[in-house]
Structure 1
């Protein structure tokens, strides 16, 4: 009876826009070889800077601990397009974030996705181990849903797709589909329209440092993005919930190459935002003093800059 109910449900579910087979795993990512990352030194604006607001000194941002390797490896990033920023302090205790967190815990170490569909540390550690860390990050974002008529849109990275109409009752089946288990529901799937996505931690109910610095960075990044020469509409800046390392605020992750490379930064101030747009988005350069971690799909060490990026 359960099987029959699932079949009937699939008849009335949203059709899969990309015509992906719902009883199989998502196909491996078709990705071109990424350009190598180059480390650069950057000190931001001239001091003192009259152009950008200063990060308040009373926030006590940690300026002493090393940033390198402060992001644990992960395989998938699920971004919920909530359209708001007033999330609870612990998003895993409410709504879709709670449902995803609970269902992921039940499936721990059951991810059967292809090697190409996961993020891997790019410049340190073993990048060829099939049993590499399978951690899944679930993050609320200020991005509004674009396609859902019921429920909510989610962005799935590194697949770089939007899956629409996700409700509490559909999370379990969706994770079956993502993780490669038989699934008898259909999902509406759309290509993500952003070639680059910058996610800035602005989770004020979690930590006042990110709640203060996050909006400052979002504004500075948006202004710098508008002034850049990149194609209009391909870069999106959004506030997100907890990214970890609040002591290093501002924290952000820059997804480039249609989500196939992730560069995590910490201790970012508005004075660095123009450099991040011009260097990281346009020229594959990372600001070494701010880098917390770099992750890629099918990544291989860049031996040309191994000495500077081997942490």
Structure 2
């Protein structure tokens, strides 16, 4: 086991991220650079929230989120859950929380999600159903995770995963990216306040360095297997109606509007579309701050042409994971166009003063906490 961690340590040098002051973590759009209408609401948006969709618009948002090192999404095939997802009977979330499984590389944010479950999920009894986990910012899928294997998920994949503070250290990709940009790809047919936010405290670290789980060979130690998530970005929308009805109302409306702006760019990916590049949209459970609905978290890779995912640059970038995690709140349907155009594609924020809650930038070595 120690040799495996030593192998992982060679991937990345330790670095303590700096807490960024408001206005320095992410770049705000600039009309002089991004166009005069860069900070305007979408004029063609016809979707609106219900008339009684009231939220807090006065509180200061930035910096009031708990820090996290890794974010794990557990596939459930559902868009709503019991109030505390750790109480979902027979679930991986229950196994992680009730057994006190805490990663060694920092706080874990654990979310149930509407990612589709594998076919065999329905062929097993509750408590034995295998499902899929997505580890962020590593962009790594782990397949066939059962409650009994939750410990393996944490030990062999989350503990060794990239974190929100992992430095890039990727001069090889820097050289390749010097001449590439993230551009839309042709449309193709889909292939086969500090509230509780489901973050768990970090256990004492076994190592101050981390590595991608794909760099390790655990086949002799666990039956679980990982594979890269090849999306260029994912958009996470809180949809948990049992925690706040506004989340159940806003998530499907925002998904429709995000899809409307992603599809013409060839970037929309539905739940079963794992083609390289593009943007996945997932519903997740409570993340905190429902009075600031809608909460939207964007994990994005560096500016890389999605078609390059099968090239040398793409293969190197897969190991790099998400460079930024941008947590927005008070998002309305008319904000979706700007979020796609500037946040998802460029890593910029349109309305940081009123919408930015926090996040991380691994390229700058900055976090909001």
Task: Decide: shared fold, TM above 0.5.
Answer: yes
* Correspondence list, 1:1-311, <5 A: 24-25=4-5, 27=8, 37-40=26-29, 42-46=39-43, 51-94=45-88, 95-103=91-99, 105-107=100-102, 111=104, 113=105, 134-145=106-117, 151-177=130-156, 178-179=158-159, 184-228=221-265, 230=267, 233=275, 234-257=278-301, 258-287=321-350, 288=352, 289-297=354-362, 299-301=364-366
On the 8 A contact 2:262/2:268 being kept in 1, the answer is: no
Q: Is the 8 A contact 1:22 1:184 kept in 2?
A: no
State how far apart, in whole Å, the 2-side matches of 1:199 and 1:279 are.
16
Listed one character per residue, the Cα deviations across residues 128-161 of structure 1 (whole Å, up to 9, x for unaligned) are xxxxxx2211111111136977600100112211
Contact 2:238 / 2:296 at 8 angstroms: preserved in 1?
yes
Partner of 2:168: none
Matches of 1:57 and 1:179, distance apart in 2:
45
The alpha-carbon distance between structure 1 residues 187 and 147, as it changes in their structure 2 partners (threshold 3 A), is farther
CA drift at 1:290: 1.4
Match of 2:198 in 1: none
Task: Structure 2: give runs of 5+ residues left out of the alignment.
Answer: 14-24, 31-38, 122-128, 161-205, 207-217, 270-274, 302-320
Contact kept? 2:80, 2:285, Cα under 8 Å = no
CA distance in 2, matches of 1:158, 1:91: 21
CA RMSD between the two structures: 3.1
Q: What is the alpha-carbon distance in structure 1 between the residues aligned to residue 297 and residue 114 of structure 2?
A: 15
Separation (CA, whole Å) in 1 of partners of 2:291 and 2:12: 37
Q: What is the match of residue 16 of structure 1? A: none
Distance 1:23 1:172, change over 3 A: farther
Q: 1:30 & 1:159 partners in 2: Cα distance?
A: 13
Distance change in 2, residues 1:64/1:162 (3 Å) = same
CA distance in 2, matches of 1:231, 1:203: 23
Residues 242, 195 of structure 1: CA spacing in aligned structure 2 closer, same or farther, 3 A cutoff?
Answer: same
> Distance between the aligned counterparts of 1:310 and 1:161, measured in 2?
24
Q: Secondary structure at the match of 2:4?
A: coil
Partners in 2 of 1:162 and 1:22 — Cα distance?
Answer: 24
Contact persistence 1:38–1:285 (CA under 8 A): yes
Question: 1:89: Cα distance to partner?
Answer: 1.6
Counterparts of 1:40 and 1:161, CA distance in 2: 30
Is the alpha carbon distance of 1:83 and 1:45 closer, same or farther for their aligned partners in structure 2, counting shifts above 3 Å?
Answer: same
